[in-house]
Amino acid sequence: MAEIKLLEEKVGSIRKKETMLESLKEILDDPRCPDGFLECMQCATCVASCPAARIYEFNPREMMRQLYEGNLEELLKGDRIWECGQCYTCMSRCPRGNNPGGVIMILRYLSCWRGHGLKKIPYATVLMWNLYTKGYSLSPDVFWDGFIDEFGETAVNMWKNMKEIRKELGYLPDDARMEPIPEESMKELRAILDETLYRKYWDNFEKNGVAMKDLLDHLGSFDYYKPAWKEEK
């Protein structure tokens, strides 16, 4: 009779208890979540259009279904959501007005807030700080060793001379533009970053035990990272 009991236990564990909309609340409440998400008819136009689905076992259709089934946490912990290339072809073709790429982006942020995804975004150490100090996502001085190497000798030599090339065009060597963003505007930008979730997102790394400095290893040797905000102030 032991087997029968075991089988019964299995049946008990697959019984769904939560209601559908409850488990999806965090996603559905996001203003960017499209109406079409619940209307998904599993047609797979998204998959058939997706550059990532062609390479990986990435499957936006299945992910929409998993969400629908309430398996949110599983998705957030997994690697799959990080394979999307954010090209939005799925959204432009979905016959039910859904935006799988957009929903996946919402999932990525959720995953980071929960702490799972932080190691997937090691460049945050560089780029988040760059925005805070200079006002740009990217500027010529943020590229770490190894970023350019792959592109061959021409590219490496070009980047060695990049400061000169930029000067020739009237651009600053280490700033994105011809003149830096004025300090006044930077103060305004920092006020925005401080008062919105940006700072919390940053603090979230430490809170989840992911040291920003350790993340730099993912990028190869690199000394751009500045001390934490607290010390700066």
Considering only residues 139 to 168 of the shown chain, the ones binding another protein according to CB under 8 A are: 139-140, 147, 150-152, 154-155, 158, 161-162, 165-166, 168
Which residue carries 């000798």 as its tokens?
A: 153
Q: Three-state SS string across 23-80, please?
A: HCHHHHCCCCCCHHHCCCCCCCHHHHHCHHHHHCCCCHHHHHHHHHCCCHHHHHHCCH
| Residue number, 8 or 86, with CB nearest to another protein | 86
| Residue number, 46 or 72, with CB nearest to another protein | 46
Q: Would you count residue 63 as binding another protein (CB under 8 A)?
A: no
What minimum distance in Å lies between the beta carbon of 2 and another protein?
36
Dist CA 87 CA 53 (whole Å): 12
Binding segment for another protein (CB under 8 A), chosen from 10-18, 66-74, 83-91, 222-230, is: 83-91
Q: Would you count residue 180 as binding another protein (CB under 8 A)?
A: yes
Q: Would you count residue 218 as binding another protein (CB under 8 A)?
A: yes
Q: Would you count residue 42 as binding another protein (CB under 8 A)?
A: yes
Q: Would you count residue 85 as binding another protein (CB under 8 A)?
A: yes
Q: Would you count residue 27 as binding another protein (CB under 8 A)?
A: no
| Rounded-to-10 torsion of CA 158, 164, 169, 173 | 100
| Residue number, 70 or 82, with CB nearest to another protein | 82
Q: Would you count residue 191 as binding another protein (CB under 8 A)?
A: yes
Dist CA 63 CA 214 (whole Å): 31
What minimum distance in Å lies between the beta carbon of 209 and another protein?
18
Q: At what angle do helices 100-114 and 197-207 cross, to 10 degrees?
A: 50
Q: Residue 35, CB half-sphere, CA atoms under 13 Å: how many?
A: 3
Q: Would you count residue 84 as binding another protein (CB under 8 A)?
A: yes
| Residue number, 70 or 136, with CB nearest to another protein | 136
Contact 185, 96 (CB under 8 A): no
